[in-house]
Amino acid sequence: MRLCIVSYKECWTDSNGHWYSSGGFPLQIRALASLFDQTTLMITKVTEGSGGIELPAGIEVVVLPSPHGEGKKRKLFILKHALNYLLLMWREIRKSQVVYIPLPGDLPLLGMGVGVGLRKHLIVRYGGSWEVNDQTTLSTRFMRWAMRGLAGGRNLMLATGMDDKPPSPNVHWLFTTALTNEELGTIMPNFERGLSSEPRLVFIGRLSPEKGLPILFEALKTIKEEGFQPMPHLTLIGDGPHRNMLGTLIKAMDLEKYIEFTGQLNRKELSAQLLTMDVAVQPSLTEGLSKAWLDAMAHGLPVIASDVGMARKIIGLDGERGWLIEPGDVSSLTVRLKEVLSSSFPWSQIRKRCRQFVEGLTLEAWVDQIARLCAEQWGWIYSDGRLQWVKS
């Protein structure tokens, strides 16, 4: 049985022709591919990348033309070349029994349309915030509308999150993670430590507008000007389109002494960094369920996060596994930083609660949940880690 995955994710090859990508994407692809006999992955290609993880051996990679520009220019490029994209997707999707579509994303949305047209079994996972907020665009509204309308039958619709109440009729919650059982077993946090003499804050994620990093910089600038001590040091782990802009902003705010970039890291490098940190700060303007929250907690790091998406469900009450702030509010983040960095919290208990929370939230559990939902909805068999197609 063949799986076809249509993604906007940028990948690259090394000198030996091995494919790589960043973040949790390669690990999730490996987990999904394990359910099927064959996997085709449709992606866009860049010349090079950093912090990459090799894509699983044995999958067939099909390169889609990389859209040019951003925003409207990108949409116009895709519209102009829509026939070419659709033909490429049709060629691969028609050979597959199941199509996996990670949304939001313009190319995956085209793939979903092709999959529906060919009457394939679809697994569609929406990774952004299912709740409407001020970052919601017309295109993401359309994607969620389409998912609600198509949900059921051959179409398994998944929204990223964790809750008792389903997001919509026939739409299921699904957590997200990049943690494997093996990796979790190698992470040994020091639960007994408090804060470093110079507190070490960390941000993990894509350097893009929705992550709210200028708000964090403003908060650090404020506490610096107030003479707050001890002044924290912030490490930014990740890369993205706003890297240069953020560097310019840090310089303009005279924060170069207190903020550093690591670029994109692989999983071992990420873990090594997180074991040296005290608190994670994720001031996103919008999220569904951030993998960064779980990565931090696996290392015993409580999280200061905007109250968006599933943050309240994951972080809990103030001081349980972290603290919540108002999204986009510099004052809220400033007050919270000063409170966390100057108060005597039971750090050992907080760090242990963080780690305990993520113990069952691994990639193995993630793909098992997907497979069980597929088997239940489609009447298929899920046995020995494989999905078996039962023709109706």
The answer to whether residues 199 and 302 touch, using CB atoms and an 8 Å cutoff, is no
Backbone angles phi, psi at 13, to 5 degrees: -115, 155
Q: Compute the mean pLDDT over every residue in the chain, rounded to the nearest whole number.
A: 94
Radius of gyration of the chain measured on its C-alpha atoms: 21
241 in helix, strand or coil? coil
The pTM of the full predicted model, rounded to 2 decimals, is 0.92
- Asked whether the bond before 104 is cis by omega within 30 degrees of 0, the reply is yes
Both tokens of 19, joined, read 């494919």
Asked if 336 and 247 sit in the same domain, the reply is: yes
Q: Where are the alpha helices (DSSP H) in the chain?
A: 25-33, 72-80, 82-93, 106-117, 138-150, 181-186, 213-225, 243-252, 267-274, 291-298, 311-315, 330-342, 347-358, 363-378
H/E run at residue 61: strand 60-64
Distance between first and last Cα of the chain = 15
What is the residue-wise DSSP string for 130-180? SS--TT--HHHHHHHHHHHHH-BTTEEEEEE---SS-SBTTEEEE------
Task: State how far the Cα of 335 lies from the Cα of 252, in Å rounded to an integer.
Answer: 23
- The pLDDT of residue 134: 77
The answer to whether residues 220 and 259 touch, using CB atoms and an 8 Å cutoff, is yes
* pLDDT tens profile 166-195: 999 999 999 999 999 999 999 999 999 999
| Amino acid at site 281 | V
- The pLDDT of residue 41: 97
Asked if 189 and 46 sit in the same domain, the reply is: no
Q: Is residue 11 part of a domain?
A: yes
Residues above pLDDT 90, as percent of the chain: 84
Asked if 104 and 214 sit in the same domain, the reply is: no
Q: Is residue 166 part of a domain?
A: yes
Angle, CA of 361, 9 and 166, to the nearest 5°: 40
* pLDDT tens profile 255-311: 999 999 999 999 999 999 999 999 999 999 999 899 999 999 999 999 999 999 999
Q: What is the DSSP letter of 55?
A: P
- Reply yes or no on whether the pLDDT at 164 is more than 90: no
Task: State how far the Cα of 272 lies from the Cα of 213, in Å rounded to an integer.
Answer: 23
Q: Which residue has the tokens 């696996």?
A: 298
CATH of the domain at 303: 3.40.50.2000
Determine the average pLDDT of the residues in 70-87. Answer: 88
Q: Is residue 225 part of a domain?
A: yes
Q: Is residue 153 part of a domain?
A: yes
- Reply yes or no on whether the pLDDT at 392 is more than 70: no
Determine the average pLDDT of the residues in 314-326. Answer: 95
| Amino acid at site 4 | C
Asked if 139 and 218 sit in the same domain, the reply is: no
Asked if 367 and 225 sit in the same domain, the reply is: no
Q: Is residue 123 part of a domain?
A: yes
- The pLDDT of residue 240: 86
* pLDDT tens profile 230-241: 999 999 999 988
| Amino acid at site 282 | Q
Task: State how far the Cα of 225 lies from the Cα of 315, in Å rounded to an integer.
Answer: 30
Task: State how far the Cα of 362 lies from the Cα of 298, in Å rounded to an integer.
Answer: 10
306 in helix, strand or coil? strand
Asked if 241 and 156 sit in the same domain, the reply is: no
260 in helix, strand or coil? strand
Asked if 379 and 272 sit in the same domain, the reply is: no
- Reply yes or no on whether the pLDDT at 373 is more than 70: yes
Q: Is residue 252 part of a domain?
A: yes
Asked if 15 and 100 sit in the same domain, the reply is: yes
Asked if 286 and 214 sit in the same domain, the reply is: yes
- The pLDDT of residue 90: 97
* pLDDT tens profile 95-111: 999 999 999 999 999 99
Asked if 158 and 117 sit in the same domain, the reply is: yes
Angle, CA of 84, 70 and 113, to the nearest 5°: 40
Asked if 210 and 164 sit in the same domain, the reply is: no
Q: Is residue 389 part of a domain?
A: no
* pLDDT tens profile 21-66: 988 899 999 999 999 999 999 999 988 777 788 999 899 999 999 8
Residues above pLDDT 70, as percent of the chain: 99
Residues 6+ away with beta carbon under 8 Å from 317? none
- Asked whether the bond before 169 is cis by omega within 30 degrees of 0, the reply is no
- Please give the residue range of the domain that contains residue 194: 182-358
Domain tally, the chain: 2
Angle, CA of 99, 100 and 105, to the nearest 5°: 120
Q: Is residue 390 part of a domain?
A: no
Determine the average pLDDT of the residues in 209-235. Answer: 96
Asked if 290 and 147 sit in the same domain, the reply is: no
Determine the average pLDDT of the residues in 368-375. Answer: 97
- The pLDDT of residue 133: 81
Tell me whether strands 2-13 and 98-103 are parallel, antiparallel or unpaired: parallel
- The pLDDT of residue 344: 87
392 vs 261, residue with greater confidence: 261
Backbone angles phi, psi at 213, to 5 degrees: -65, -35
